[in-house]
Structure 1
Amino acid sequence: MERLAGSDPRQVGPYTLVGRLGAGGMGAVYLGRSSGGRTVAVKVVRPDLAGDDGFRDRFRREVAAARLVSGAFTAPVVDADPDAGVPWMATAFVPGVPLSRAVTAHGPLPEAALRMLTAGLAEALVGVHAAGVVHRDLKPANVLLALDGPHVIDFGIARATDGTTLTSTGSVIGSAPYMSPEQALGQHLTPASDVFSLGTTVAFAALGESPFGDGAGAAVLFRVVHTEPDLSAVPESLRPLVERCLAKDPEERPAPREVIAAVAGADPGAPSDPRLALLAGARPGGAPVDMPRLSDGWLPE
């Protein structure tokens, strides 16, 4: 967490902001506290985008999609005002670090952590899909490694599975290295698209980079659609499952509940506490994944 800069707001709705958790092209996320002491993550839209009616509509849809989702491995919405001068949304605060940051800083996760990551993401998708939503942007930056397991965040481009459009129909929106072939082609998406993204995210955690490589967006999308991923670093116990998740045909991918069952079958003796796996270390014999301290508003290691 970073200290607030001079340009950062100090109050959003009923929440006093105490630090900056992150920022992106569309806004920033702050650590906020209510007058009663409740800690939340407050997503605030950039002021220059607040006047864009199209973007404001998109933010309203994000709030609507996020409100539908609940579950142990997501961050539920607790408050929002998409019609404020500067729109904002508050979600339950998840003390953790993004998977992308953990892997970049410490290297690929060990096998036990990969198993728990796979099962945790699948559990999150069970809740997301039960709410009738396709996330459409599951990727390492949208996965928080917390003390109780991985949490899926950011429903900015989610879409309802009943046909309700949450973003422009037929548009290709998402993160190229982690989207499914059908998403890359701008086709209709089903929950199976998120399962593909689960596979790419787990492969990233094992490899240290996208299984489809880096480069220009168009080149990466071509590889997603036409070539096979690099799964050489995925442990043998998980590789067949990840291969199924990354099937080009969405009908050949397992459902999230099948993923959970397959992980349990791959290693029935795996530790039951997610912390034992996710905080075991970045690699065998390596340094543990850092968790910010309580003094910074996060849970201790």
Structure 2
Amino acid sequence: MGWDGDGVLAGRYRNLGLIGQGGMGAVWRAHDIDLDREVAVKELRVPAQVADQERRVWYARMEREARAAARLRHTGIVTIYDRVMGDDGRPWIVMELVRGRSLDQLLAERKTLPPSQVAAIGLAMLDALSAAHAQGIVHRDVKPANVLLEGDRVLLTDFGIAALEGDVTITRSGMVLGTPAYMSPEQVEGKSVTPASDLWSLAASLYAAVEGRRPFDGPSHGAVFVAIATRRPPAPRCGGPLAEALNGLLRKDPDERLSPAQVRDLLNAVLHPTAETAADVGPPVPHRPPRTALLHPPTSDIPLRRHRTALVRAALLWAALAVVAFLAGPWKDTKTTPPIELLSEESIILLLPAVVAFIVMCGLWFLPHRPALVLILVFAILGGLHLETLSVYAHHRSGGIPVIEPNVGFEISWVLGALALMFAFTAANPSLAGRVAVPSARHALLAMAVLVEGLVALVWVVPVYELAGSGLDLDSDHNGPLIAPLMLLGLIWLGTQAFIWSSRLRAEFSRR
């Protein structure tokens, strides 16, 4: 069992595209048809030349991941929704879709992070690991690639080699379970793995984030193993409580490592330098992971995410109405002949693009998660329809393509097309905003985008006709009914977008 001919898994999960892949697997974005939500589907890919015994080991490893993560309920752990078993015994894991990036990807871009952000990430990871350890689950592969960042959330994923109390260990001679650079000394030496092993890997990951290099590295796996087992890592340059936490966890003997409570106190001290530690004030208070907004824009700063489907479908409705109005509305210079009649008289085949356009828009109705694609196709449909009609119109006249004087049907189509593009732009802007982490840069980008988008939406017809070598007679005294609604739309666009993207205006409105 896998993706069928229609790109559906198990009759329920429709493939929406590849998120990422590695040597042994891939993660896909999919739509859960039954529950109408987007999910992530993890597929295990084992090379064809792998022996059956090893193939069964990898299948068992993925089964272990599903069982391990399914036992956990924590905001810092990616939720497992379902497991689908293929005909070949290969499991597929359906899980929560995280709309963000990994810590590894962030470090590849920024190299290092400020100590406060590293401490915030560390506290969230510590909470997730503590929840797993409380259920008797040791992750065994904590590393930056398995730490996902989504707005305010820091999530731990990939429990593929997790050890569960009472389970038979899955291993074989020569197999390395874990990522060498972040493995604990006891893992390297083949000893028992405990929660303290995860804390070592947590420290190694935080060390890489704040120092810009791994605590142990080498030209080969063997060299890394030797360094982990015999050497001390370079002293962290960050200093302070964060360095103390890293040094306290990167101790060879698991019994000598800091406890989770001690690590939590030190990381909190990084975020609140003047605060007393829990040892000074008595029993610890419940911990709330701090915001990590500088890593990725929080959801509250990017409105309309929940309304994307409605916006995309509204854009498609306006576009369909614009097409109908254009085809049915006669041009003044064609003796009241509407374009649909003009096209059909020339050749019935010329109506095929309009039919295809409606079919495409019906298909886009079920792709609200692709607002950029909808925007591009809506513009292409509207512009292509006008260009086709112009070419036929020129064929019926001598002297080439004339200057067009808009009529009522044409004007209605223009305004409806502008509305369609405005809704499509509004649906696409949250994705644009999500790519910029710094609030000031995000606001500047959106301000520029809103102005450009509004101009494009209002005058979208003009470049189409200029491209065709025609023109539009907009200076006529009869064009008041067209100019007025376009100006009104422009004002509404600016006011609406300012309200949407200004948290201050929204807060003031809510207060009143």
TM-score interval w.r.t. the shorter chain? 0.7 to 0.9
8 Å CA contact retained: 1:123, 1:260: no
* SS at 1:61 equivalent: helix
Of the three residues 104, 116, 123, the one matched with 2:108 is 104
* SS at 2:248 equivalent: helix
Map 1:9-158 onto structure 2 (within 5 A): 10-13=7-10, 14-35=12-33, 36-46=35-45, 48=47, 52-85=55-88, 86-158=90-162
1:222 matched to 2:220: no
Q: What CA distance in whole angstroms lies between the structure 1 residues aligned with 2:159 and 2:6? A: 23
Q: What CA distance in whole angstroms lies between the structure 2 residues aligned with 1:133 and 1:80? A: 19
* SS at 2:293 equivalent: helix
CA change 1:218–1:8 in 2 (3 A) is farther
Amino acid at match of 2:44: V
Q: What CA distance in whole angstroms lies between the structure 1 residues aligned with 2:70 and 2:95? A: 9
Amino acid at match of 2:80: V
Q: Percent identity?
A: 30
Compute the displacement of 1:219 (Å): 0.2
8 Å CA contact retained: 1:59, 1:82: no
What TM-score comes out, normalization by structure 2 length? 0.51
Aligned to 2:291: 274
* SS at 1:91 equivalent: strand
Map 1:248-259 onto structure 2 (within 5 A): 248-259=252-263
Compute the displacement of 1:235 (Å): 4.1
What TM-score comes out, normalization by structure 1 length? 0.84
CA change 1:195–1:272 in 2 (3 A) is closer
Q: What CA distance in whole angstroms lies between the structure 2 residues aligned with 1:231 and 1:21? A: 37
Q: What CA distance in whole angstroms lies between the structure 1 residues aligned with 2:21 and 2:200? A: 26
Q: What CA distance in whole angstroms lies between the structure 1 residues aligned with 2:74 and 2:291? A: 16
CA change 1:182–1:26 in 2 (3 A) is same
CA change 1:45–1:258 in 2 (3 A) is same
Aligned to 1:264: 268
8 Å CA contact retained: 1:80, 1:89: yes
More helix by share: 2
More strand by share: 1
Q: What CA distance in whole angstroms lies between the structure 2 residues aligned with 1:177 and 1:296? A: 38
Q: What CA distance in whole angstroms lies between the structure 2 residues aligned with 1:73 and 1:181? A: 26
Of the three residues 171, 178, 196, the one matched with 1:174 is 178
Q: What CA distance in whole angstroms lies between the structure 2 residues aligned with 1:214 and 1:208? A: 15
Compute the displacement of 1:257 (Å): 3.7
CA change 1:84–1:110 in 2 (3 A) is farther
8 Å CA contact retained: 1:211, 1:231: no
CA change 1:58–1:279 in 2 (3 A) is closer
Compute the displacement of 1:192 (Å): 0.3
Amino acid at match of 1:54: V
8 Å CA contact retained: 1:73, 1:152: yes
Unmatched 5+ stretches in structure 2: 276-287, 298-304, 309-368, 372-429, 435-512
Amino acid at match of 2:217: G
Compute the displacement of 1:106 (Å): 1.7
Number of residue pairs matched?
283
CA change 1:84–1:273 in 2 (3 A) is farther
Cα shift readout 1:249-273 (whole Å, capped 9, x = no counterpart): 1011223343223212333269964
Compute the displacement of 1:189 (Å): 0.8
Compute the displacement of 1:222 (Å): 0.5
Larger Rg: 2
8 Å CA contact retained: 1:30, 1:41: yes
Of the three residues 169, 178, 191, the one matched with 1:187 is 191
CA change 1:169–1:17 in 2 (3 A) is same
Q: What CA distance in whole angstroms lies between the structure 1 residues aligned with 2:6 and 2:234? A: 44
Q: What CA distance in whole angstroms lies between the structure 1 residues aligned with 2:87 and 2:291? A: 38
Amino acid at match of 1:206: V
Q: What CA distance in whole angstroms lies between the structure 1 residues aligned with 2:6 and 2:56? A: 22
Q: What CA distance in whole angstroms lies between the structure 2 residues aligned with 1:147 and 1:229? A: 32
Unmatched 5+ stretches in structure 1: 1-5, 281-292
Moved more, 139-148 or 187-196: 139-148
Q: What CA distance in whole angstroms lies between the structure 2 residues aligned with 1:236 and 1:18? A: 46
CA change 1:9–1:191 in 2 (3 A) is farther
Moved more, 255-264 or 244-253: 255-264
Aligned to 2:238: 234
Moved more, 194-203 or 32-41: 32-41
Amino acid at match of 2:168: T
Amino acid at match of 2:61: R
Aligned to 1:287: none
Aligned to 1:286: none
Q: What CA distance in whole angstroms lies between the structure 2 residues aligned with 1:252 and 1:163? A: 26
Aligned to 1:288: none
CA change 1:97–1:206 in 2 (3 A) is same
Amino acid at match of 1:79: D
